[in-house]
Amino acid sequence: MQLNSIKPADGSKHAKRRVGRGIGSGLGKTCGRGHKGQKSRAGGYHKVGFEGGQMPLQRRLPKRGFKSAQLKFAAEVTLAELQLLEAAEIDVSLLKAAGLVKQLAKSVKVIKSGELTKAVVLKGIGATAGAKAAIEAAGGSLA
């Protein structure tokens, strides 16, 4: 194979549409735009969502707020809050019972804020890198 013999695949290249070049092209005279009207004119078109002057759908509908579903079911616990708990083994149900996370929480993550001096074992709870290091330095672990 030589560089001068390379050709594109059949059908991958086609001639550009040349409008307004006579009736033989199939796109002569009105160039495929039809006859009169805004869309037939040069520069004549309307913005997306324009409904002819009628109040557009995006403005007729009421504005509503938004809350991410991920934030709704995820919760955070600090090291200082873990320090207050009496239990040595901590899981999500214990945190819910203690009132540290909402009842809807599906996942809990420990963040490094405050001090932890006692050893705790976390079951089914995530932790940031800093929080994990602090828990392991206090003699605890993540299971």
Which pLDDT score is estimated for 69? 75
All structural domains of the chain with their residue ranges = 18-60, 69-142
How does the average pLDDT of the chain come out, rounded?
A: 91
The three-class DSSP label of residue 96 is: helix
Burial group, residue 113, by CB count within 10 angstroms (0-12, 13-18, 19+): middle
Q: What is the largest CA-CA distance in the chain?
A: 89
DSSP letter at 70 equals: H
> What are the backbone angles phi and psi of residue 33, rounded to the nearest 5°?
-95, 0
- Once rounded to an integer, what is the mean pLDDT over residues 123-131? 94
What kind of fold does domain 69-142 have according to CATH? Ribosomal Protein L15; Chain: K; domain 2 (3.100.10)
pLDDT classification of 143: cutoffs 50, 70, 90: confident
pLDDT classification of 44: cutoffs 50, 70, 90: confident
- Once rounded to an integer, what is the mean pLDDT over residues 34-40? 92
Contact, 142 vs 120, CB < 8 A? no
